Chains A and B, each alone.
Chain A
Amino acid sequence: MNTASLNPYILSLVTFIPLAGSLLLLIIPRRDRDIKLFALAISLLAFVASLHLPVHLHRNAAGFQFEINKQWITTPNIHYHMGIDGISVWLVVLTTFLTPLCVLISWTSTHERVKEFFILLLILETALIGVFTSLDLFLFYFFWEATLIPMALLIGMYGHGRRVYAAVKYFLFTMIASVFMLAAIIWLYSKTGSFDFVEIQNAIRGGHVESFAAAAQWLFLGFFIAFAVKVPLFPLHTWLPDAHVEAPTAGSVLLAGVLLKMGTYGLVRFNLGLFPEQSRQNAWWIVTLALIGIIYGALVSLVQPNMKKLIAYSSVSHLGFVVLGTFSFTQAGLDGAIFIMLAHGIATGGLFMLAGILYERRHTYEISEFGGLATPMPKYASYFLFVVLASVGLPLLNGFIGEFLVLSGAFQARPIYGILGATGVIWSAGYLLWMYQRVFFGVVKHDVNKTLPDLNLREKAALLPAAAMALIMGVAPILWLSSIDPAVRSALTAIPQSIAKVVGQ
């Protein structure tokens, strides 16, 4: 079968398979097992469909591929324009890869309103994929906002203790920040008459946008604040620990695994893509915030008594690396930034799944409640160690590649960036391994923990793909970098002086 004939439709298919599945779920009778199996089948189908993308991607071609561009609304001039390049392709696959794992990990932890849970999960998947595939700013904003509601409902309906507070905080932070992006988008539309990313980019590069020079800094900030909250960049990160701690496991996995990447993806695609000049001018303080985030996130992680909060703050730290790499404007830095986005999605997704498995057994995330778990749960302990090592950045696992690339890019830009960033690697080894030691080593302190059951087949089925992927990405990063690299190069050609200037200093 010639699957290449699917090329013009594949993005729409991948994006809307989960949504179609969630609509079908509406009419499926409320038998929990059927609903779960159906959700699993749909998410696997979306994953298989999304594999079409890396298989058929032309790795060295510039510009966007698998494009589809149809008029949606005439006034304003909104197009259904989708397309991906070597960067976004992997984020799409990351989303479809993590969703079936989320379904598996939620199999028994969701007791009531099961149907709604999986409907929300699938709607969220569609919205997330849409964010990475949209090339029309309006469409992008639509999917961006569309991620908000299912995620807030997942936290608020299925979360733990202070779930309502966390859900509302999450919603308001993101909503208020994205209003600024909307203002910037409307401004661009009112001056260019288009929402098309490529058209606007060309108009800006050609200097055809009226009074752009005066507004550029504000537009840059408009986009930046929306993305910075999502990343989250210090000091806009305060919603994240709350959201993570209260969210159900699947929510945390998608939140850390994919939602945060919407922010960093936005920075690369829109801030660098549309405003290279302003990116360069603002890089110094953005990098400073990223470095503060790396170190601050790590230090706060170190003292967390709550396992999930610890992982949440470690995300603040890891995502700081992504921002550092992005605003180093070097080939290695950007390659690494994109790679960390994927690696962090797998590793932190894995950590949250592991934390969720423990929560199902003990209904607590407090580290002090555990200790010596390696004795009753040896398989669990080995998976945990593997994922922790991936997250720490052990060579041959995926975390290492990204951090190495980012740090080498940061050293090229300015040695001090690299030096400060490198301390983050050390810290992360500290807090993660210390947490591992407290939870797994020593004698079993609490009697309830002595009889905890080890991983069952379903849990292994959820963890194994993540662990395997961490290994494959660490051993053969070239499979990913071979498409990331050309895409980054074409993004960087837009800012030639920028490289010279930053590197020259």
Chain B
Amino acid sequence: MIITALTHQLPSLLAQAQAFTPPTGSEYMRILPELILSLFGMIVMVVDPLLDEERSQKPLGAIGLIGALAALASTYVMAQYPGAGFWNMVRVDGFSVFFHVLVIAIAAVAILSSYEYMSVQRIRAGEYYGLILFGTVGMCLMSSAIELVLIFIALEISSISTYILAGFRRREAASSESSLKYFLLGSFATAFFLYGVAMMFGATGSTNIDAITHALASGAIAPLVYVAVALMFIGIGFKIAAAPFHIWTPDVYEGAPAPIVGLMSTGPKAAAFAVLLRVLFEINAPGRFWLVWVSAALSMTLGNVGALVQDNIKRLLAYSSIAHAGYMLVAFAAQPELGTSAVMFYTAAYAAMNVGAFAVVSHFANAGEKYLTLEDYAGLGRRSPMLAATLTFFMMSLIGIPITGGFFGKFYIFSAALKANLVGLTVIGLINSAVGAYYYLRVVVAMYMREPRGEVPVTPVPFATGLAIAACVLATLYLGVVPGRVLDYATQSARDLVSRDGRVARVVALQ
């Protein structure tokens, strides 16, 4: 069957190859953020050898930050050129602009919070900032690619960067373990994804999302499609740390540098969710319901139960990230339109609170990341009231208390689920979020209600870290008090993405 499909497609593929036209200027505008990020990534790499190693960290970080901010600004330009480009491989729409802004902002905050970390941990900065920028290119492309092969390549760009970044604390065995584990399991998972892509190509004769959508909507669905969807789900499920593909998460998060954990628990995750939204919702993948139902229920439960017994805050937040992936997966069982907008909102809210929490953790961990257990946090409320108050705020957001972004994130997810009459999954989710309250609360209890231990140093918060934390607080608060604008934007782009009219318009454009 695969072969017939191939031979069937061959003439048209050849014709496409012959009719090669170079991309136009506006097509380059559609990947402007990626271009800028790559450019600055290369500048960082080129400048690095020219600077004295001892003093290179600050200027390189500044270049990285400028690059990220420039890319952030360029998303505005990119948004002015909606439509597909590069032989139908990328498409700029509300959806991809949303994720571009999100992952670039995450990268910018991660760079900011790395400033202090780099000098305290004595890590060479050149490759570090370069890799963050290159990884962001991959994440950006994941959200705008509408060609499964390009999605795969983007996924690899982002993954390989994070594999290396995870191992950046070279003096620590745990960090190398983290990197290797992440690399081995990650490659394994991307292979699953690629296998799924191949199957999808075999079943529908195309790797283009629009063409697949069309093929699935028009004809009978081959059994191979179900296998393809399942395999792609496994691949992405690994990236988003969804159970039962979550085993790597705690070890990797524990070993990797704290600012990088902040980045990789949100940036690549958001991008992977963007991909998942495309391969499940945009193409209206058949047979997804029980897949995501089971995975969502498992992730929420295993994540929360696992977090209950953690004493290391990085491991605790790792399990919490599994649980949050579960909450987001709940929306994938709902109707596409509501589900998509709920997931989009949640990725933003989760990014704001989790990056913020890790910024506090990485500041507090100090040289060699020595202070990571809950005992070390004892009495922080007395010794550093502002830091403790912000961490409390992030914990409240992770619990899902109102006026934080985390609350509305959960709210939209579960109201989308209830709209689709998913009462069982909603109840599992709500009970889980109540269970989750316990371990987030343990952090707050430690900070405010336990007696401080003298030997844990509390250093003043440097400007860059303060800025990163403040940005996260403001974003979490913004999403919690006036979520309307972000949600309206998400709803509109979700409608364009998954509504019937949107699909039809794109298929027409394709032909």
Hey, which bits of chain A sit against chain B, CB under 8 A?
A: 73-76, 113, 116, 141-142, 145-146, 148-149, 152-153, 156-157, 163-164, 167-168, 171-172, 175-176, 179-180, 182-183, 186-187, 189-190
Contacts and interface: CB of A to CB of B under 8 A. Distances in A.
B366 interface: no
Contacts of B411: 76, 186
Interface string B439-459: 001000100111000000000
A168 B445 contact: yes
B148 interface: no
Contacts of B445: 156, 164, 167-168
B484 A75 contact: yes
Contacts, number: 76
B265 interface: no
A23 B426 CA distance: 37
Interface in B457-495: 482-484, 487-488, 491
Interface in B354-390: 381-382, 385
B402 interface: yes
A74 B438 CA distance: 32
30 contacts: A73-B484, A74-B488, A75-B484, A76-B411, A76-B415, A141-B402, A142-B402, A152-B441, A153-B448, A157-B449, A167-B445, A168-B438, A168-B441, A171-B437, A171-B441, A172-B434, A172-B437, A172-B438, A176-B431, A176-B435, A179-B434, A180-B430, A183-B418, A183-B426, A186-B411, A186-B414, A186-B415, A186-B418, A187-B418, A190-B415
B448 A175 contact: no
A300 to B, nearest CB: 27
Contacts of A190: 415, 418-419
A149 B401 CA distance: 9
A163 B449 contact: yes
- B interface bracket (residues with beta carbon within 8 Å of A): 20 to 34
A175 B434 contact: yes
B480 to A, nearest CB: 10
Contacts of A189: 415
Contacts of B437: 171-172, 175-176
B31 to A, nearest CB: 31
Contacts of B438: 168, 172
What 5 pairs across the A-B complex have the smallest Cβ distances?
Answer: A142-B402, A156-B449, A176-B434, A179-B434, A164-B449
Contacts of B435: 176
Contacts of A156: 445, 448-449
Contacts of B449: 156-157, 163-164, 167
Nearest to A75: B487
Contact of B431 (A163, A172, A179): A179
A190 B478 CA distance: 24
A180 B433 CA distance: 11
A73 B481 CA distance: 8
Contacts of A146: 401-403
Interface string B407-424: 000011011001100000
A271 to B, nearest CB: 19
A168 B488 CA distance: 37
Contact of A179 (B430, B450, B491): B430
Contacts of A167: 445, 449
B402 A75 contact: no
Contacts of B418: 183, 186-187, 190
Given A146-B401, A156-B449, A172-B438, 20 more contacts: A73-B484, A141-B402, A142-B402, A145-B401, A145-B402, A152-B441, A153-B448, A156-B445, A156-B448, A157-B381, A163-B449, A171-B437, A172-B434, A176-B431, A176-B435, A179-B433, A182-B430, A183-B418, A183-B430, A190-B419
A175 B484 CA distance: 26
Nearest to A180: B430
Nearest to A189: B415
Nearest to A215: B423
A74 B484 contact: yes
Interface in B392-407: 396, 399, 401-403
Nearest to A163: B449
Contacts of B448: 153, 156-157
B510 interface: no
Interface in B157-180: none
A74 B484 CA distance: 6
B427 interface: yes
A381 to B, nearest CB: 35
B3 to A, nearest CB: 48
A47 B491 CA distance: 44
A154 B126 CA distance: 47
A32 to B, nearest CB: 16
Contacts of B382: 113
Contacts of B484: 73-75
B433 to A, nearest CB: 7
A167 B484 CA distance: 34
A175 B431 CA distance: 10
B373 to A, nearest CB: 17
Among A141, A168, A171, A179, the most chain B Cβ lie within 10 Å of the Cβ of A179
Interface string B276-317: 000000000000000000000000000000000000000000
A145 B400 CA distance: 10
A176 B401 CA distance: 12
A219 B14 CA distance: 61
A180 B426 CA distance: 11
Contacts of B403: 142, 146
A148 B396 CA distance: 11
A75 B495 CA distance: 15
Nearest to B412: A76
Given A149-B401, A182-B430, A73 B415 contact: no
A76 B491 CA distance: 11
B76 to A, nearest CB: 24
Contacts of A153: 448
A378 to B, nearest CB: 39
A186 B422 CA distance: 12
Contacts of B419: 190
A190 to B, nearest CB: 5
A188 B140 CA distance: 38
Interface string B178-209: 00000000000000000000000000000000
A152 B434 CA distance: 16
Nearest to B416: A190
A113 B452 CA distance: 14
Given A157-B449, A190-B415, A75 B488 contact: yes
Interface in B227-246: none
Nearest to B431: A179
Contacts of B491: 75
A145 B415 CA distance: 19
Contacts of A168: 438, 441, 445
A438 B140 CA distance: 74
A148 B401 contact: yes
A146 B412 CA distance: 20
A73 B426 contact: no
A187 B295 CA distance: 24
A130 to B, nearest CB: 11
B441 A183 contact: no
Given A182-B430, A183-B430, A186-B415, A73 B401 contact: no
Nearest to A112: B382
A502 to B, nearest CB: 32
B177 to A, nearest CB: 34
Contacts of A157: 381, 448-449
Contacts of B430: 179-180, 182-183
Nearest to B382: A113
Interface in B123-164: none
Contacts of A75: 484, 487-488, 491
Nearest to A139: B402
Contacts of A164: 445, 449-450
A206 to B, nearest CB: 22
A149 to B, nearest CB: 7
B477 to A, nearest CB: 14
